Amino acid sequence: MENNVLKIGIIGLGVVGTGVVKALSKFDNIKILKAAVRNKNKKREIDVQYITDDPFEIANDPEIDVVVEVAGGVDPCLDVLKTAIKNKKHIVTANKELLAKFGDEIFSLANENNVTVLYEAAVAGGIPIIGPIKTTLRGNEFNKVMGILNGTTNYILTKMEEDGVSYLECLKDAQKLGYAEADPTNDVEGFDTMFKIAILSNIVFHKKIDYKKIYREGITKITQDDIKCAKELGYKIKLIGLAQKLENDELDIRVHPVLVEENSMLAKISNAINTVQLEGAPVGSVMFTGPGAGEGPTASSVVGDILAIAAEISYTDTILPSTRVKTDVQAKQADILNTKNSYFLAINAQNARGTIGTIGSVCAENNINLQSILQKGIKEDNTALIVVITETSYEKDIQNAVKKLNEQNIKVTNLIRVI
């Protein structure tokens, strides 16, 4: 860092990268030397002096102090960042997929080369959550972290409830507004939330997390019937990421839709807003809420990380030691079949005597107590929608009960966990 000016190279000039460049223009102590993009000839609304289509130019440039990566994906970002780290450059990234899959490798290499990797923007966009966990909340022993971590899915579920239209109609609306990509799989199938809860679990529980062992389920099966019945029973449906300690020192980490009580704080998080809730001692329960994606919120977190490095780089050889990740212990991750939950079952069955009795019997045979049961009219084909809420049961028992019901032509059309 020469003349108290931090020199950076930025990889990616999409929505977030553009926001970062705009925000950094206000700071005289930050200079963008180079930007790497996929298409050099694309017209842009910002002016960057030097643009390349080779990100390794940035990783290998001896003048650059910090590499800012907001391109996303694994290839070529993994190799580029590893090269930059070996060249003693600090890293700021918003890449949740990269960190969830290869974070251990990246952080270990960074520690070996005495550089820091900051990634506030990788989880929950503009919400400051990683910094507080590693600093002001560091004295806590947490037993649970949970959140609405994807704005696209939360927007779709909100519109389904408010407008009374189908999932597909709400998805199209989200795509028109720019909340969802042309291929929305990463969001609606829960991959994005899975990467984020993996990162949060790592820093909250100080253990390596295998993202491949995280149970993942998206929102594509949620219907208007599910939304309406949940509302009638006093619930709303949200997609959450959850990680919690179990008694046997296992971590229960998963992503799936849940029913939350309509008067709860989670139920009040609507549209594209994100929230993260932590439970531990001595703090108790704390909640962070704000915009989870987009140019401004994500750029806010990226720029904050850059400025944190700029504030220390001239004064110490070890930048921000409290933010470094040092986890040598692999987490024991629970199989969802061994977890306990309450359940919402949406059932389609013939309108015949004994159907509800059969449902009760099958549940009883599998150690499942029923909390409530609701029948919603008779359709033209003489079938009825029956909704069941269970008491807390083992996942393996509920799955076996679902199998038995389906075998008796009592079709379980959806299973949603209740928290």
Q: What is the pLDDT of residues 155-165, one digit of tens each?
A: 999 999 999 99
Q: Which CATH architecture has domain 130-291?
A: 2-Layer Sandwich (3.30)
Percent of the chain with pLDDT over 90: 85
Catalytic residue among 34, 82, 196, 236: 196
Q: Rounded to 5 degrees, what are φ and ψ at 247? A: -65, -30
Q: Please give the pLDDT value at position 270.
A: 95
pLDDT number for residue 198: 98
Domain ranges of the chain: 6-124+295-323, 130-291, 337-418
Q: What is the pLDDT of residue 2?
A: 66
- Tell me: the pLDDT tens digits for 317-344? 888 888 888 778 999 999 999 999 999 9
Q: Are the CB atoms for 272 and 291 separated by under 8 Å?
A: yes
Q: Is 196 noted as a catalytic residue in this protein?
A: yes
CATH superfamily name and code, 337-418:
ACT domain (3.30.70.260)
Mean pLDDT calculated for residue range 248-263: 96
CATH of domain 6-124+295-323: 3.40.50.720
Distance between CA atoms of 276 and 255, rounded to whole angstroms? 14
Give the whole-number percent of the chain exceeding pLDDT 70: 100
The CA distance from 16 to 78, in Å, is 19
Say if strands 251-261 and 284-291 run parallel, antiparallel, or are unpaired.
unpaired
What are the tens digits of pLDDT across the range 39-66?
A: 988 888 888 889 999 999 999 999 999 9
Q: What is the mean pLDDT of residues 223-236?
A: 95
Q: Which one-letter amino acid corresponds to residue 236?
A: K
